[in-house]
Structure 1
Amino acid sequence: MLTSMRKNGLTLALFALVCTSLVVATHLLTQDKIAHQQQREQLATLNELIPPGSYDNDLVASCKQVTSPLLGSEQAMPLYTAILAGKVTGYALETVAPDGYSGAIRLIVGTDASGKVSGVRVLAHRETPGLGDKIELKKSNWILSFNGHSLTGDNANSWAVKKDGGDFDAFTGATITPRAVVKAVANLLRLQQTHPEVLADAPSCERAGESQ
């Protein structure tokens, strides 16, 4: 009986070793493909916010990590800088609307060099289907209402939903979600205008990763 137990134990150990080896081998074979696909998807999103003809640098490689309370999170947010012929032509910066109806809403905001919004996209949210999820472009065109807007000292009050006296529409039965998104985008623009050094001096994503 003892011999049989040992034999079964060795069989199980060998089986576990083979399975582990297969998992490791599969990971090694696919990790480059997965990373490449993720990079392509990331660039596709960036190109929705920053026109491809407006830059000649590697947008993904330009990544920096920006930390500011105005970005709605204690975590550093990725910043991508568009450069054409040596001059900055635009930015794409991630931010968080912490006060969504069902929790935090993660966004990425594109702006040109003057601070005018070129596009906003929702990266992640848990808002109510059929109501708050209209912040997604595939559900409605509401998110496009930010295009062409900028934040100035004269129009700060317009950066609110119409129910609060601003310029942006709310959704029927779901005011909290658009209110949170409008506030988050306005705060990001405020950061760009009042603290440009935070963006300029931010560490690269690669250096930030090495320091952790």
Structure 2
Amino acid sequence: MSEQKINIPKLGIFLGVVAAVASGLLAAVNVQTKPQIEKNAALKKEEAMNQVLPPFKKLVSLEKAIDGATFSVALDENNVPVGIAGVAEQEGFSGPVEVMVGLNPDGTIRKVLVTKQTETPGLGTVITDRKIQKTINDLFHPTELVGLPPNQYLDQYETATSETTWTVTKDGGDIDAKTGATITSRAVCAAVSKVYKAYNGHSDEILKGAE
């Protein structure tokens, strides 16, 4: 039985055409889906800001990052700052952890929200997620939740001050970490610290940028 010879040049051309067509299709899909992806990301960011900031009339986002954090200033109807949202990220256990921190104009922390993470479910996510915890009592006496669901690891930052040592207790600091999720705890702590220190070190510049 004669062996069938493979025409290498023709095979190369065929594979090249297939690769080109596949690349073209992927590019076309990306062009079509990119606007929707960007729109969804913008809506998610807006929702997060509404959760960490007080009611506001206008939001001014500063283009330049300051010490690793980006800021948006919330203004009332008289263009007076009522709150600041700062965003920073730090590498966690499974990837970057992005944190949004709501600040009062005086630099104190209102709320902390993790906006992006890929941490281990049941361990790292205990640090990052805000989920409504139901009890048996809630089944018989349901109450409407006002504001963000509590998270003891995120809520502790609301009492932070200029005297706070911004590391987890395991490293000699003031921030409580969850056993088994120390890396995630460190990542959240470092990201919140970036925002807090950047704002409190450059508050005049940030607030002036919103004028």
TM (normalized to structure 1)? 0.63
Q: 2:176 aligns with which of 169, 178, 188?
A: 169
- Counting aligned pairs with the same residue, the percent is 28
The residue that corresponds to 1:148 in the other structure is 158
Q: Do structure 1's residue 102 and structure 2's residue 102 form an aligned pair? A: no
The residue that corresponds to 1:90 in the other structure is 83
For the residues of structure 2 that align with 1:187 and 1:24, how far apart are their CA atoms? Answer: 37
Higher Cα Rg: structure 1 or 2?
A: 2
Q: Do structure 1's residue 181 and structure 2's residue 180 form an aligned pair? A: no
List aligned pairs for 1:192-203, cutoff 5 A.
192-196=199-203, 199-200=206-207
SS of residue matched to 1:89: strand
**Which of the two has greater helix per residue?**
1
Structure 1: runs of 5+ lacking an equivalent: 1-21, 72-76, 204-212
SS of residue matched to 1:65: coil
The residue that corresponds to 1:121 in the other structure is 113
For the residues of structure 2 that align with 1:183 and 1:24, how far apart are their CA atoms? Answer: 37
Q: 1:45 aligns with which of 31, 44, 48?
A: 48
The residue that corresponds to 1:65 in the other structure is 64
1:26-70 deviation digits (Å, cap 9, x = unpaired): 88887766554443322111111112xx311145xx3533142xx
1:98-153 deviation digits (Å, cap 9, x = unpaired): 3x33343221111111111111122223332321222222468234324532432x
1:27–1:131 CA distance, 2 compared to 1 (3 A): closer
> Is 2:88–2:194's contact at 8 Å kept on the other side of the alignment?
no
TM (normalized to structure 2)? 0.63
1:192–1:23 CA distance, 2 compared to 1 (3 A): closer
Q: RMSD across aligned C-alpha pairs, in angstroms? A: 4.0
> Is 1:151–1:189's contact at 8 Å kept on the other side of the alignment?
no
> Is 1:56–1:83's contact at 8 Å kept on the other side of the alignment?
yes
